[in-house]
Amino acid sequence: MQTPSQPSPIGPVLARRSALATLAAIACAAPAQPAAASAIFRAEWFQFQSRFLMADGRVVDTGNGGVSHSEGQGWALLFALTADDRPGFERILGWTRRVLRRPGDNLHAWRFKPDAALPVEDPNNATDGDICIAWALLDAGARWDMPDYTMLGTAIARDILRLLVRRVGAYSVLLPGARGFELADGTIINPSYYVFPAFGALARAVPDPAWVRVAADGLVLLRQCRFGRWGLPPDWAVLARADGGLTLPSNWPPRFSFDAVRVPLYLAWAGLGGEPVLERVRNFWIDPANPFMPAWADLTNDRIAPYPASPGVTAIARLAGAQRPTGPVTQRAEGMVADAPDYYSAALSLLVRMAQR
């Protein structure tokens, strides 16, 4: 049965102080310098393009009916930047802004359905997609000396703060989208939308203490997101306004699955490898009771997927330090785009390569 997660016994204020101390230790480390694009990463990026990027700059989700998402566009911008592929970056950005930009702000519609009468039928945004688009633009502006990119990334970051940050009880939270996630008694959150390695770039572009509050409270909430036998973070959770408790929503499968696998990726990427949630996820991935590393776990009854995780997820497991008793979860530290069964697995593999850099 569902095990609700309750606020930390030391209280939200002390929990936030602990999270702030963790973030401060990371922030005080020497900033990473941009690394030259490796031949391997460039080759992987061009393999990704050949499989999933259309000539006009649209990234195709081959495992989901050929749709496109702002998430995929943001990741592709990061890949092109890392590969030092300016023409590719410009094509991806051009399609993203031309097709997905919402009227009235600088955010982007979350989905494009190519065969629909109205391809962008839902103007709502996806916050992780906008974070990654802004992050890519800000880093591209600095690396390539492109003030227009910096200005656009700053405008998106400003709208993220303005439209997507809310106070819910004792916490500053990141809404998954501009509408549809605020309830009368709580707010729906997606733990995987906290793209921790991006927050530094956003905060430098739009200096505001709200970034620190959101990041710190995001860590606090992740420490409390413990469901099921392994104490895993869910794809989606409801944060109660009254007491700060976390429960599983009724309108999404109650799983640690395709969204939540990005939680350990972003924590490890940001240098937050000591966070307790990483240890809990590792314990799930290496549990000898499981015949293989499962693609998902049901957090209400501890049932696991009848099929193994994709190569992209096993690459995240290696990044997070997971080793199964019978050997590594995969033969390579990174997944290869050529081995990926679909867009999502390939994208996760490239994200892991970026995190390792």
**CA 182 and chain centroid, separation:** 20
- 29 touches 271 (CB < 8 A): yes
Q: Which of 128, 130, 235, 259 is an active site residue? A: 128
What are the residue ranges of helices labelled H in the chain? 11-27, 39-52, 70-82, 86-95, 127-144, 147-164, 199-205, 209-224, 262-269, 276-286, 311-319, 343-356
Contacts of residue 45, defined as CB under 8 A and 6 or more positions apart, other chains included, come to: 79, 80, 82, 83, 85, 88, 350
Closest CA to 288 of 258, 319, 329: 329
71: annotated active-site residue = yes
Give kind and range of the element (H or E) at residue 146: none
Q: In what order do the strands lie in the sheet with 237-240?
A: 186-189, 237-240, 246-247
Exposure string for 252-286, b = 16+ CB within 10 A, e = fewer: eebbbbbbbbbbbbbbbbbbbeebebbebbbebbb
User: In the numeric block, which tokens belong to residue 21?
Assistant: 């101390």
What's the count of helices (H) and strands (E) in the chain, helices before strands? Answer: 12, 11
**Which residue among 71, 85, 159, 275 is the active-site one?**
71
By C-alpha distance, which of 279, 273, 309, 265 is closest to 128? 265
Place of tokens 């606090």: 220
Question: Is residue 275 annotated as part of the catalytic site, yes or no?
Answer: no
* Closest CA relative to residue 317, chosen from 352, 345, 350: 352
Q: With CA atoms as reference, report the closest residue to 175 among 132, 114, 218.
A: 218
Q: Is 81 in contact with 143 (CB distance < 8 Å)?
A: yes
Q: Which residues are part of the catalytic machinery?
A: 71, 128
